Amino acid sequence: MNVVPVVDQIIERNGGKVSEVYYVACGGSLVDMYVSDFFVRTESTGVTSGWYTANEFVHATPKRLSPTSVVVLCSHSGNTPETVAAAALAREAGAQTVGLTYNKEAKLLDESDYSFVYEWGDETRVHNNPMAIMLDLTVNLIDKLEGYPHIEAFRKGMAIIDTVVANAEKQVEPRTKEFASKYQDETMFYVLASGASYGHAYGFSICSLMEMQWLDAAPIHSGEFFHGPFEVTDEDTPFIVAKGLGRTRALDDRVLEFLGKYAKKVEVVDAKELGLDLIDDAVNEYFNPILFYSVLSKYRYALSVVRDHDLDVRRYMGKVAY
């Protein structure tokens, strides 16, 4: 999808003034926003950002929220009550709201100044997934406001990410089956990542393992591992490390060196080995999560097959009152 017209309108409405972007959603949609928040925090000098689970944004709303704020909201169904409430509240504060959903009839659309109704499914090209749309919007927004020196490299990356991911998915498939076979009886996984990828350590834990497989899981930031968490390491504990490209790769390497000595159950998903280095070094770290989402989805699928636990089975979500 072409994000540029929306970026232009956002900037125009406030005479060029955007003070912060809030990324507000729940669960998997919030995960998809992590990289955009990370991009603003890391690359912008004039705009700040915040990453909020929707109900916290609603109950403890930042005082900064104002007409110069942009609030990006995403909900697959488009009717997640907390996210719709956050959008309404943001609008009431005069902020500009950008809503993303799969559902053309979503309530979220009623509260969105700008909206993206995305497609979904195995056949969809990843650059049209909500994660990529939000990242594209964010990078273009920062570029238009203050200039992003690597905008051309980023655009080239967006142009080839579908191909990179499709190749990586093929490449990883045999490994996902080995993984599933080896780990089918495990009940607890630690998932590690750093930088822009950390969101997917969180996402793979809470969505793929906890929600879809009813398995225990915990994300750990690679930089935090040596400051507490690593004391659980032993030969029986499984670790999945999403080893990204970019500036924080050294943090993941350090984790892997340690695990190589003291753990036996370690699965490495390496963005470089999977071909993400086809994208320019100046920007490829921001594409890590797009690659990891697709590749880790293959892992969860393989696990679901071996465990005979369908990815769509829920016992509470949408079934009981909560």
Q: Of 116 and 190, which CB lies nearer to a second copy in the complex structure?
A: 190
> Phi, psi at residue 223, to the nearest 5°?
-70, -20
Distance CA(168)–CA(255), nearest Å, equals 23
C-beta separation of 268 from 241 below 8 A: yes
The least CB distance from residue 107 to a second copy, in Å, is 17
Q: Work out the angle between the directed axes of helices 130-146 and 4-13 (0-180°, nearest 10).
A: 50
The least CB distance from residue 221 to a second copy, in Å, is 6
DSSP string of 87-126, one letter each residue: HHHHHHTT-EEEEEES-TT-HHHHT-SEEEE---STTS-G
Q: Of 215 and 279, which CB lies nearer to a second copy in the complex structure?
A: 215
The least CB distance from residue 146 to a second copy, in Å, is 10
Q: Of 120 and 214, which CB lies nearer to a second copy in the complex structure?
A: 214
Query: CB-based contacts of 236: which residues, under 8 Å, 6+ apart?
Result: 264, 265
The least CB distance from residue 115 to a second copy, in Å, is 21
Catalog residues that contact a second copy under the rule CB under 8 A.
Answer: 20, 26-28, 30, 41-45, 48, 50, 53-56, 59-64, 66, 80, 82, 188, 194-195, 205-207, 210-212, 214-221, 223-224, 226-233, 237, 246-248, 250-251, 254, 257-258, 261-262, 285, 314-317, 320, 322
Distance CA(9)–CA(251), nearest Å, equals 39
Q: Of 248 and 294, which CB lies nearer to a second copy in the complex structure?
A: 248
C-beta separation of 233 from 219 below 8 A: no
Q: Of 81 and 174, which CB lies nearer to a second copy in the complex structure?
A: 81
Q: Of 221 and 298, which CB lies nearer to a second copy in the complex structure?
A: 221
Q: Work out the angle between the directed axes of helices 130-146 and 288-306 (0-180°, nearest 10).
A: 170
The least CB distance from residue 268 to a second copy, in Å, is 18
The least CB distance from residue 228 to a second copy, in Å, is 4
